[in-house]
Structure 1
Amino acid sequence: MDEKMNYAPKKSSIPQDIIFEICSWLPVKSLMRLKCVSTLCNLIVSESNFLDNHRFRSMGTKFLVKGGEFYYTAEENKDGKASASLLQVDKFNNSYNRAPTYSCFNSCVNGLFCGWRSSSLLIFNPSTKEVRILPQPNKDILWCNYSLGFEPKENKYKVVSTKYHAQEGYIKYWIFTLGIDKTWREIQRGFSCVPSSSPSVCISGVIYQFVYESFLNCYKSAIVAFDVKFENYEIIALWKAFMSPLHYHELIEVKGKLAIIYYNYVRRSGYMDMWILEQTSRKKMERNITIAFP
């Protein structure tokens, strides 16, 4: 609130804080209409502090649901019932259906989704139904993976690309800063591990993702931590039993900390483990919590 830009006209009878406060409680549809009213309204609705405040005050939980060849937004009913309403995202589907059939959505930050299909890459906002198609990835790629990250201090969104080039025969890492870069920038400080296709998590300006030792070894052996601001990496070791292919595991955020959901398919004991990364110099998963299934 302290860093808001001075949007209100000098002769306005309504204080700036009141305008900001009223707009921050409006639904998304009303905000999108306000953007078309005047330049002033468009600036207010687009300002980063306003967006953060509005997102914090949103009461409902929205979901992105994939059904066949179409995508929908789902919102929980406020009366406490288990049912949910679905709304087809027409603008998103029309843009995204230009690409091949295969799709992957495994990266989400502040309500923005990063998705790709073969040679097509885009950023999607389910709330506003806005779609931004990014520059086409390089050709001659056998395998690629993307992660979306956010740097809160500089208020920048970056897409990290991991690509296996057929001609060179090795992995390359690229960065694209939304709203700034026109083309992809190669990272010279890469690492030899291969990021998995499982969802990544961005926490406090750091992207966390499982990695493999190589294409031949498909066991998740560690976690890579990518600093979005400084664009460098750090490897976090995992325990040996974690590498079994019979286990289910996923990265999540728990109260601002990185956590791993860990479940043994063979054991089927009715509970799962959650390991939390404590803020220590060793950078290891320290605290274990057992969660029983209802």
Structure 2
Amino acid sequence: MQRPRFELPEALVMEILSKLPVKSLTRFNCVCKYWCSCFQTPHFISKLHHNNLKNNNLNLLLGRHDGNTFPHYFSQLSNKKDKKNKVKQNIHLPFFKNTTPSVYGACHGLLCLHDPSTDKAAIWNPSTREFKIVPPSSIQRPPYFSSFGKGYLTLDYVSFNNAAFGFDSKTDDYKVIRFVSLTFVNREEEYPYPHFMHQVELYSLRSDSWKEIPSPDYTPTESNNGNICVDGICYWKTEYGGYLDFRGLILSFDMGNEEFSNLPIPEFGGSFPEYYVDLLVFNGSLGVIVYSLERTSTSFDLWVTSEGVWTKQFSIESISGVVHPLGFGKID
């Protein structure tokens, strides 16, 4: 007598698969097209990443190159005690041949790679070694710029800066935002004075396309190490005002409603040009570390914001030999 066929609900199957090592999932891509497509969804990627965090299945990722030769490549180091400092694998990225891509943020174990000097960008999963090449932008660049007293200036150079990578939970989509700097010059002049214009582009992984969005009143003046993104909102530090009225500001972008807004820096009782204000993530919230430019008596103040209100968490007195703080982390 043939036993009745018993099938698990697909949701339960995906829950079980998300707890498996990445090496097993790579093999299971061949089981069926449905499993292969499910492994690429933001929900599954996020679930797999959080399960790896719980199980401490993490590896250290290093950017490397041999001397002055190209191409640059990445290496993964195993975190297992019996394989201390052992290179798990070397990963070459042929798409960025003869260029050095910058890592603009990590989200759910995915990395956004971007070459600021070109239009090349990619979303990379180091665990599965899957590599999604972002298509070039189709957004039009103005070839000329009319400047009073100088006639028409021609477009000379395009650069891509201050990219950020985040997750939009409203549409279950990964997005990349970047600021495009356009440099215009008068080619007839021997030493042309440049004039700058900016555009802002947003990439959606779901639609696999770029679109232009309205530029904010201010643009980032300082690149973050990676990018600061909290709950789908990305942050950059910017500055405005003249020399005698120089002020700092935090520019934010909501991946969900695709709108910019401004957030003041905390009122720490000092003059902004005389202090560093570094952005960071602290306990899942946006924070800043404030410290003086003077190296003789540097103290570090940590401020954290909640719904736009800054609260000073603590202050660390001067420590000799410290150049700048890197951030905070939990040590077990």
TM superposition score category, shorter chain reference: 0.7 to 0.9
The match for 1:261 is: 289
Gaps of 5+ in 2: 66-71, 142-156, 185-194, 320-332
The match for 1:76 is: 79
- 1:134 positional shift: 1.7
- 1:190 positional shift: 2.4
Pairwise mapping of residues 24-173 of structure 1 onto structure 2 (< 5 A)?
24-58=18-52, 59-68=56-65, 69-78=72-81, 83-91=84-92, 93-96=93-96, 98-101=97-100, 103-117=101-115, 118-119=117-118, 120-136=120-136, 140-142=157-159, 144-167=161-184, 169-173=196-200
Q: Do the aligned residues in 2 keep the contact of 1:72 with 1:89 (CA within 8 Å)?
A: yes
Gaps of 5+ in 1: 1-9
Q: Please give the secondary structure, in 1, of the residue aligned with 2:248.
A: strand
| Worse overlay, 186-195 or 134-143 | 134-143
CA distance in 2, matches of 1:207, 1:230: 12
Q: Do the aligned residues in 2 keep the contact of 1:195 with 1:210 (CA within 8 Å)?
A: yes
Q: Do the aligned residues in 2 keep the contact of 1:210 with 1:220 (CA within 8 Å)?
A: no
- From 166, 169, 191, give the equivalent of 2:217: 191
Write out per-residue CA displacement over residues 245-280 of structure 1, whole angstroms, 9 at most, x where no aligned residue.
Answer: 764x5433223211123444644668633211122x
CA distance in 2, matches of 1:67, 1:200: 21
Residue identity in the other structure for 1:86: V
Number of residue-to-residue matches in the alignment: 273
CA distance in 2, matches of 1:192, 1:42: 42
CA distance in 2, matches of 1:284, 1:228: 21
- 1:197 positional shift: 1.5
CA distance in 1, matches of 2:133, 2:33: 25
Residue identity in the other structure for 1:259: G
- 1:143 positional shift: 5.4
Q: Do the aligned residues in 2 keep the contact of 1:200 with 1:210 (CA within 8 Å)?
A: no
The match for 1:6 is: none
Q: Please give the secondary structure, in 2, of the residue aligned with 1:169.
A: strand
Residue identity in the other structure for 2:50: F
Residue identity in the other structure for 2:314: I
Aligned-pair Cα RMSD in Å: 3.3
| Worse overlay, 59-68 or 266-275 | 266-275
Calculate the TM-score normalised by the size of structure 2. 0.70
Q: Please give the secondary structure, in 2, of the residue aligned with 1:192.
A: coil
CA distance in 1, matches of 2:296, 2:232: 36
Q: Do the aligned residues in 2 keep the contact of 1:261 with 1:273 (CA within 8 Å)?
A: yes
Calculate the TM-score normalised by the size of structure 1. 0.78
Q: Do the aligned residues in 1 keep the contact of 2:285 with 2:306 (CA within 8 Å)?
A: yes
- From 257, 273, 278, give the equivalent of 1:230: 257
Q: Do the aligned residues in 1 keep the contact of 2:19 with 2:48 (CA within 8 Å)?
A: yes
Identity over the aligned pairs, expressed in percent?
23
Larger C-alpha radius of gyration, 1 or 2?
2
CA distance in 2, matches of 1:84, 1:285: 40
| Worse overlay, 204-213 or 13-22 | 13-22
The match for 1:273 is: 301
Q: Do the aligned residues in 2 keep the contact of 1:278 with 1:287 (CA within 8 Å)?
A: no
The match for 2:228 is: 201
